[in-house]
A and B are shown apart, each in its own frame.
Chain A
Amino acid sequence: MHRSTFLKFAGAALATTLFASTAAVAIDVDAAIPSYQKASGVSGSIKSIGSDTLNNLMTLWAEGFSKEYPNVNIEIEGKGSGTAPPALIAGTSQFGPMSRPMKAGEMDDFERKYGYKPTPMRTAVDALAVFVHKDSPVKCLSLAQLDAIFSKTRKRGAKADAKTWGDVGVTGEMAAMPISMYGRNSASGTYGYFKEVAMEDGDYKDSVKEQPGSSAVVQSIASDKGAIGYSGVGYKTADVKTVPISAKEGGTCYDATSDNAYAGNYPITRFLYVYLNKNPKQALDPVRAEFIKFVLSKQGQQGVIKDGFFPVPAKVALDDRKAFGLN
């Protein structure tokens, strides 16, 4: 469902202009996203608890925001998307960054306490990248092959379990090498999203090595030639490479680039969300309103690029500003 909403937002014009560019050229923020205008009388404190994927991004926004308002006291904690809803419900945080949409159960818990649902803000686009070691000869994997590598239930219908690289079509000296899988811990939204989209909600194998952070996944892969793992594309380093992914067996493989993400070709693309507790009957307090405006402004979206993710299209940014009653 979330992928279909995603496709809807990928403006055709935007996609074509982006297709013309090559991956080496730096991504730029959609020109229709307005620049941030400073407001007066903003002070107070912001506390954000949630996703680890969004941790650096929140920090970058906080740095930019405190440049505009040096007296706003900002604290950021990121231990996984699963920690965002409880903190929002308990009122210990105002912002709940999540790398996956909130589950129905979490929504209900929130609604039971406040009488309304939390409001999401789509802050960035992430192609959830599948990384392998930089010397790995893997050229392309299908979702079914990924499922066979990571899942013990194989809901995507792969016939056999993939234990060695030879099982997913690698030839040469690496064919006999066992696949060593790295993933995130279960509090992570990345873990949840990968499970939902790549594995159709199947179960992870017990042999997947769970890492406490996205960067830890990438570092583990960097030192293990037979490794494969997933995390936000923003965490890519020179020691790993992304594997192009095809949605169907034998289909075209698309790499985790901004063009493929916007066009919806890359099959595990997602939005990165920040959830807020907004009472529909009241206007937002100035600090939170300005922070949202900042995130969905040109400056905020440049922060997204700086962190290696992709900025949202202008339509998404403007729609979400409207959802919070901001222009």
Chain B
Amino acid sequence: MSVFNQSRQNVIRLTFAVMFVVIIARLFSLQVISSKYKIMADDQGKFRKVVYPDRGIVYDRHNNVLLQNTTIYDLMLAPNKLKGVDTLAMCRILDIDTAQFNKRVVELIIKNGRTRPSVFEPLLSDSKMAMLNEVMYKFAPAFYLQERSVRSYPYDAAANVLGYTAEVDTNFLKKHKDEGYVSGDYAGMTGIERSYEKVLMGVRGIEYWKRDNKNRLTEKLENGKFDTAAIAGQNMHTSIDIELQELGEKLMQNKLGSIVALDPRTGGILAMVSAPTYKPKFLSGSERRKHFSELFLNPALPLLNRTVGATYSPGSTFKTLQALIGLHEGVINTHFKVACSGAFYGCGTGKPKCLDKGVFDLRGAITVSDNTYFATVMQKVINNPKYPTIDSSLSNWDRYMYAFGLGHRLGVDVPAEKKGFIPTADYFNSPKRYGEGRWNYCNFVSVSIGQGEVNVTPLQVANEMAYIANKGWYKTPHVVDSIEGGDKFNMLAAFKEQHNAIDIPDSVFEAVHDGMEGVVERGTGLGAKVEGISICGKTGTVENYIGLVKQPNHAFFCGFAPRDNPKIAIMCVVENSGKFGGTYAAPIVGLMIEKYLKDSITGTARLAQVEQLSNLNLIPARIYAAIKTQDSLRHLKDSAYMVAKGYLKGIKDTMELEQDDESDLLDKIKKDADSTTKKELPKKDSNNNLPGMNTDAVLPNEKRKTEPKDTVKN
């Protein structure tokens, strides 16, 4: 009977076949044509895990390790396994209450979900770690420990030079957009950790992992076929002498100020002490949370590297440079004598005064630091008839200053270097200052003795000593001498270059050396004297003001040793110590030189002097007052309170580097004197405080009382 419907079998076959063709066509479009599903699959099924290499190790000049890596642990939690865990015991170990515990768990679940392990307590301290280690099995598998590499500092010294690493903030990410940083990464924030970040960070590795539907990493994709290995950061050798650095920090205890010691032949920095400082481990690993805001808020600014980030009037240390200019310009010779009857009357004001009355030649004037002599020398330089206008003669003087390494950044490899200030004709010509043609030498006579409109950093002073020691050249001061595995980023080439912009004959330097040797042998710097070493030095006693209120003098001492074939150029400043440069700064320099050249300080008297100087407290009273005010504000230990109350405009972790270009100043100094172009730059610089830090309370912008437009607020 079914014969009638025989043909229907083909209809059925066709129907079946058509349906399968439709399915295969759809599969073709899904699998071959469309690429969207492959991308989606990679997004959810694969995970690109970044493997962080160890940061490079930093050595000092004797191959002592200054900075290395150590392992610390994060406490991890997988919230879905929390059931049955003795949370109370965990609370007790971590020293939190159950409410905090629950809050943290909820936060983690919101952030990363239930099944994915997240960091419950980062960077466990040693004591918590010790407690946890024994009982960790009780908390498994909900809690476990995860290793992390952090920086460790074998010496409790050189914090400001080495710097610290910290988690990058949004600002940092914005600036380093294409360098592969992601939030949560650590990067060098200050010191050479920052300037050599590229060298130290190494090359990150990438591992590809499979990920499951709960976002857990299950296994490596194809057994790691596509992975790239991480390459550790390069190790660096520095010129720091860690023992000298430690001695320097010891001597500068309980003081504000700096010591910078250089090897004049190489420009390598031997010691770079900024006081007060902090223990570098305070800003690493688990300690950081405890100490950062305290250090940040401290009115004495321990986080500021004063050696490059603070500027002072150089005081009498400036006179050596005036002598060089005077001799080389030919306005005086070594036998040129000036009589001092108590003051400089060249401008009719009786200023500046001089302390030692008498008649001095160049050497003698340096030795006793005679103000009148150098006021006269500079007057001769500025009013030299060889130059048609005062603009051109001042510009000529600026040229010398620039050659000596002043008025511009030296280019040291420690970040946040300031450029200081050297007055230019344009600066005085500015209508806001005196106006064109309305000024003469007498308006800035105090510059001749290193007061008034001149600012330098301690590093610049030390470098200027290296320049004098080398008789006319210097190499850019630097901390890092060499990089293991080669200088791939060409960061060290600039330090090999010798700077001698103006060729001054050795005989000129000999005269200045004579005078400087006299300073230590019989002059104002007797305190620096070291048995058996010929030291050339110069004291400085710098008057300074906060607003119009005179503060105790800064004590300066700079010098180099030994006189022949010098091995160390050094400067020391003790802020607001009162008295004279020779009183506090000179003995500190003497001890540093002895330590470096003789390898150790010998003799009970000398050792006693070390102890006595390190115990001496010269921190000015205003710092204590500021601390007291701050403490009374800080009801809660919480810095958030201060932010909320408006005492603090939010904590900024990184110190901003000054990015503005200094090339225009360079141009300016090279330019001929009768250039009429006006530049705003020097003016702006003179009022420039440390950006990013509220420093005015501590570091006074040194101003003369005579200046009419003094608006520095404190």
Co-complex (A, B): no
